[in-house]
Chain A
């Protein structure tokens, strides 16, 4: 801290010296002397921030952002990255350290933690912020008026506002929606409107706080395209994310852990192979290509150790693709868990949400439903959970038709429904009370209830949290707590709507493990997902598009080169490993990273030097 104090002192001394001297000399002198501070648009030095609850959100963080730079901040949930975003945007003042934003000394801890509110106000006018939840950033009900809101607050003249609104809506490719109601747009479109709203204020820096974490593949890709365009235009960007692949394009990457800077450097430096283990312990992972390379190296190494492979590669491949399991499952003889017969459904008369949809889900199966926003996925889930009755056709769950109210009530115990962002349904004062809500409604005995709750909490890994308040858990734990509340009802079928939205790599990994365990115990799993990679891990996939079933089959049948175009048109894509294989001319169709690595290591010795030519 004394160091920053000294440099401050030196800077001020430089300024006062510069004023009266000869112009040429002071200019040169000034530039040299001020280079480290004035060259950066934002500078945090030794910033520490503590929340009232006593948890330390930022701990001695020093960071600078240069003009025109694209800085990417990575970190797991709870690593302090959102707090950092708030500090960088001038929305939150730290407890100690000093903060300099766009040329304004807003906070100086060395001089008795002085917060300069006027400087903060001035700085905020030059910093744009876009954050996670697109719903909460749009303040009006017409798109173009929302974009105009910021410039109006800055007192920009009307004609200029009009120009900026038009320009920014075009930049984010939303000009056709200028008069639309934001509540009718998809999450990705809303987020682009939010970006346009921030850009219309012509900020010197744009801070994006996990802009894509709640969006589907297409929405996230569109956001990245916009960011690419901004970079070409020379906009300074601070991008906070937990998608590692998005960080590859950045100029510089900072990795946060528990409020501290754990790693810093160019993407190449940060994603250096030697950091792989560290990244995993920080709750993150390496970008796709690096994980692939590591896996290939591992397999080759294994091959060297034992020349005889454990089984023929083709068979392994089929196991990895999940093909083997469906073929010999005894599901055919049993009554299906859920059968949907020619179902149509509409919330309003003009537009059908589902149109003649038929599908059958076998006992113990794991099914993924994919489709873009508005394709009818969530409606289908509501019908599968007997929360809604079809207009035409019928839904039969374990042999019981959902048409009658009494039978629907009986089904609510046997089908577990995990809503989108299930943590939003938490309500009780303790975790145990919340988890026992479902079992209590089922009218079970007290001993049975406590036994089921203990088991459910054990499955999700929240043992010992019984008496904690669910609202004090971390975001990831809240989601697991909500999941435990469903599992405690011991449903035969578990239906999940986007269970991974907003989770970091570690959270996604944990959830995958939990679902695999439940599935292995015989529970039928139906999930809607944005992620093609997750869908590829299911046993069967249903693709919905415009209220109809577009494709259905095993992952290998759905995700193949000939369907690529169809999937793209439906706003979807191929899983990353398959897309990578196609782009690199690999014949077989690997659906998972492991399968791809297997193929490369056994069939493509040409990739032996691959580590060097395809580096980050």
Chain B
């Protein structure tokens, strides 16, 4: 199909990072993602990149796979950078042409704020590339289990999340096929004035909704047939165990975050 979305596709390998308990990976990558917003200096940026890249190397994931998963976000980061560049007015003015004003602070913000998000994206991708959806479900299930006691549907939410990862590529393929079909019937999805395009989206949305409902219907049939019951006790093929390497990994992640936020 035309549109292959590689978002969150597990990369099978047998590295140290793959073998970590999924809970460790979830906690560590969340910590890294949050810590990204504390990055304000080039030194912090360098530390962040160093940490994430070393982990990727340890996970033995080929560079092109990593790039593939970051590229879709790249356009968004560029837009963000341009906004920072144009909207920051403090600092020394470098270019001044009509309403356009580019300052040193603007350039700095554009570079720093866009690139620091790359670290967060990489950390998230690393989690998805090294952890299967089933492991993620188990991890969220376990991590949120204290909340389950006060009635929070931890397991269901984890399951929905994992099904979402499974069905994104299927629905994306289907959307691409529908775009093809509508285009061939003269629908103006990719050309014409914005109003024309918006009008052309309606048929696409209706058919995509109809097919999503069909998928949902089939899926519920499949889940029932395989005896999945919400809230019921299930066993686990690979029960979760925190080992020494998990605690070590968590300690390293904590050291990294502390160093990033307080030391540098």
A136 within 8 A of B: yes
Set of chain A residues within 8 Å of B238, measured between Cβ atoms: 158
Set of chain B residues within 8 Å of A387, measured between Cβ atoms: 180, 183-184
B210-A426 in contact (CB<8A): yes
Residue of A nearest to B188 (CB): A441
Q: How far is the CA of A125 from the CA of B232 in the complex (A)?
A: 14
How many residues on the A side are at the interface (Cβ–Cβ under 8 A)?
71
In the complex, what's the smallest C-beta–C-beta distance from B197 to chain A, in angstroms?
A: 13
B149 within 8 A of A: no
User: Which parts of B76-119 form the interface with A (CB within 8 Å)?
Assistant: none
A425-B178 in contact (CB<8A): yes
B41 within 8 A of A: no
Q: How far is the CA of A165 from the CA of B236 in the complex (A)?
A: 13
Set of chain A residues within 8 Å of B191, measured between Cβ atoms: 405, 409
Residue of B nearest to A471 (CB): B210
A253 within 8 A of B: no
A155 within 8 A of B: yes
B219-A145 in contact (CB<8A): no
Q: A142-B134, A155-B233, A387-B180 are in contact. Are A489 and B186 (CB under 8 A)?
A: yes
Set of chain B residues within 8 Å of A385, measured between Cβ atoms: 180, 184
Set of chain B residues within 8 Å of A424, measured between Cβ atoms: 174, 177-178, 207, 210-211
Residue of A nearest to B232 (CB): A153
Partner among A124, A137, A378, A486 whose Cβ is within 8 Å of the Cβ of B222: A137
B237-A152 in contact (CB<8A): yes
Question: Per-residue 0/1 for B47-91: is the Cβ within 8 Å of any A Cβ (1 yes, 0 no)?
Answer: 000000000000000000000000000000000000000000000
B181-A428 in contact (CB<8A): no
B133 within 8 A of A: yes
B225-A388 in contact (CB<8A): no
Partner among B9, B178, B236 whose Cβ is within 8 Å of the Cβ of A181: B9
Q: How far is the CA of A16 from the CA of B218 in the complex (A)?
A: 42
B203-A427 in contact (CB<8A): yes
A438 within 8 A of B: yes
Q: Tell me the number of A-to-B contacts counted with CB atoms below 8 Å.
A: 173
How many residues on the B side are at the interface (Cβ–Cβ under 8 A)?
56
B46 within 8 A of A: no
Partner among B165, B186, B206, B234 whose Cβ is within 8 Å of the Cβ of A412: B186
Q: A412-B186, A422-B181, A425-B181 are in contact. Are A153 and B226 (CB under 8 A)?
A: yes
A141-B232 in contact (CB<8A): no
A240 within 8 A of B: no
Residue of A nearest to B219 (CB): A136
A140-B177 in contact (CB<8A): no
A183-B169 in contact (CB<8A): yes
User: Which parts of A392-421 form the interface with B (CB within 8 Å)?
Assistant: 405, 409, 412-413, 415-417, 419-420
Stretch of A43-51, A126-134, A269-277 lying at the B interface: A126-134
A138-B185 in contact (CB<8A): no
- Chain A CB count within 10 A is highest, among B12, B162, B182, B185, for B185
In the complex, what's the smallest C-beta–C-beta distance from B220 to chain A, in angstroms?
A: 9
Set of chain A residues within 8 Å of B204, measured between Cβ atoms: 427
In the complex, what's the smallest C-beta–C-beta distance from A473 to chain B, in angstroms?
A: 13
Q: How far is the CA of A426 from the CA of B237 in the complex (A)?
A: 42
A291 within 8 A of B: no
B225-A129 in contact (CB<8A): yes
Q: How far is the CA of A437 from the CA of B237 in the complex (A)?
A: 51
Question: Per-residue 0/1 for B167-196: is the Cβ within 8 Å of any A Cβ (1 yes, 0 no)?
Answer: 001100010011011111111100100000
Q: How far is the CA of A388 from the CA of B237 in the complex (A)?
A: 45
In the complex, what's the smallest C-beta–C-beta distance from A200 to chain B, in angstroms?
A: 9
Partner among B2, B4, B163, B226 whose Cβ is within 8 Å of the Cβ of A198: B226
Set of chain B residues within 8 Å of A412, measured between Cβ atoms: 183-186
A131-B221 in contact (CB<8A): yes
Residue of A nearest to B5 (CB): A183
Q: How far is the CA of A128 from the CA of B183 in the complex (A)?
A: 41
A152-B234 in contact (CB<8A): yes
Partner among A348, A382, A486, A489 whose Cβ is within 8 Å of the Cβ of B4: A348
Q: How far is the CA of A89 from the CA of B226 in the complex (A)?
A: 10
B184-A91 in contact (CB<8A): no
In the complex, what's the smallest C-beta–C-beta distance from A165 to chain B, in angstroms?
A: 7
A139 within 8 A of B: yes
Set of chain B residues within 8 Å of A485, measured between Cβ atoms: 185
In the complex, what's the smallest C-beta–C-beta distance from B73 to chain A, in angstroms?
A: 18
Residue of B nearest to A485 (CB): B185
Partner among B162, B215, B224 whose Cβ is within 8 Å of the Cβ of A124: B224
Q: How far is the CA of A138 from the CA of B215 in the complex (A)?
A: 11
Set of chain A residues within 8 Å of B228, measured between Cβ atoms: 149, 153
- Chain A CB count within 10 A is highest, among B9, B186, B232, B233, for B186
Q: How far is the CA of A133 from the CA of B218 in the complex (A)?
A: 8
Q: How far is the CA of A309 from the CA of B1 in the complex (A)?
A: 52
A158-B163 in contact (CB<8A): no
Partner among A91, A121, A140, A162 whose Cβ is within 8 Å of the Cβ of B132: A140
Residue of A nearest to B207 (CB): A427
A86 within 8 A of B: yes
B180-A91 in contact (CB<8A): no
In the complex, what's the smallest C-beta–C-beta distance from A112 to chain B, in angstroms?
A: 25
B186-A413 in contact (CB<8A): yes
B151 within 8 A of A: no
Q: A382-B2, A420-B177 are in contact. Are A89 and B225 (CB under 8 A)?
A: yes
Set of chain A residues within 8 Å of B237, measured between Cβ atoms: 145, 148, 151-152, 158, 161-162, 165
A139-B163 in contact (CB<8A): yes
Set of chain A residues within 8 Å of B218, measured between Cβ atoms: 131, 133, 136-137
Question: Per-residue 0/1 for A179-196: is the Cβ within 8 Å of any B Cβ (1 yes, 0 no)?
Answer: 111010000000000000
A19 within 8 A of B: no
B170-A183 in contact (CB<8A): yes
Set of chain A residues within 8 Å of B186, measured between Cβ atoms: 412-413, 438, 441-442, 489
A161-B235 in contact (CB<8A): yes
Q: A136-B222, A149-B226, A412-B185 are in contact. Are A428 and B203 (CB under 8 A)?
A: yes
Q: How far is the CA of A181 from the CA of B226 in the complex (A)?
A: 20
A153-B210 in contact (CB<8A): no
Question: Per-residue 0/1 for A100-136: is the Cβ within 8 Å of any B Cβ (1 yes, 0 no)?
Answer: 0000000000000000000001001101110101011
A419-B9 in contact (CB<8A): no
A13 within 8 A of B: no
Q: How far is the CA of A451 from the CA of B182 in the complex (A)?
A: 21
Set of chain A residues within 8 Å of B215, measured between Cβ atoms: 135-136
Residue of B nearest to A411 (CB): B184
Question: Per-residue 0/1 for A429-456: is the Cβ within 8 Å of any B Cβ (1 yes, 0 no)?
Answer: 0000000011001100000000000000
Q: How far is the CA of A140 from the CA of B237 in the complex (A)?
A: 14
A154-B134 in contact (CB<8A): no
Q: A91-B221, A198-B225, A409-B191 are in contact. Are A347 and B184 (CB under 8 A)?
A: no
In the complex, what's the smallest C-beta–C-beta distance from A152 to chain B, in angstroms?
A: 5
Set of chain A residues within 8 Å of B206, measured between Cβ atoms: 427-428
A605 within 8 A of B: no
B227 within 8 A of A: yes
Residue of A nearest to B202 (CB): A427
A3 within 8 A of B: no
In the complex, 21 of the A-B residue pairs with CB atoms within 8 angstroms, ordered by the A residue number, are A91-B221, A131-B222, A133-B218, A135-B215, A136-B215, A136-B218, A136-B221, A139-B162, A139-B222, A141-B9, A145-B237, A158-B235, A158-B239, A181-B10, A412-B184, A419-B181, A424-B174, A424-B177, A438-B186, A441-B186, A442-B186
The 10 nearest A-B residue pairs measured at CB:
A441-B186, A136-B218, A417-B184, A129-B225, A427-B206, A179-B12, A438-B185, A427-B203, A150-B226, A148-B237
B interface residues with partner A (beta carbon < 8 Å): 1-2, 4, 8-10, 12, 132-134, 162-163, 165-166, 169-170, 174, 177-178, 180-188, 191, 202-204, 206-207, 210-211, 215, 218-219, 221-229, 232-239
> 12 other contacts beyond A139-B166, A428-B203, with CB at 8 A cut-off?
A91-B225, A124-B225, A133-B218, A145-B132, A152-B237, A165-B237, A180-B12, A183-B169, A378-B1, A424-B211, A427-B210, A442-B186
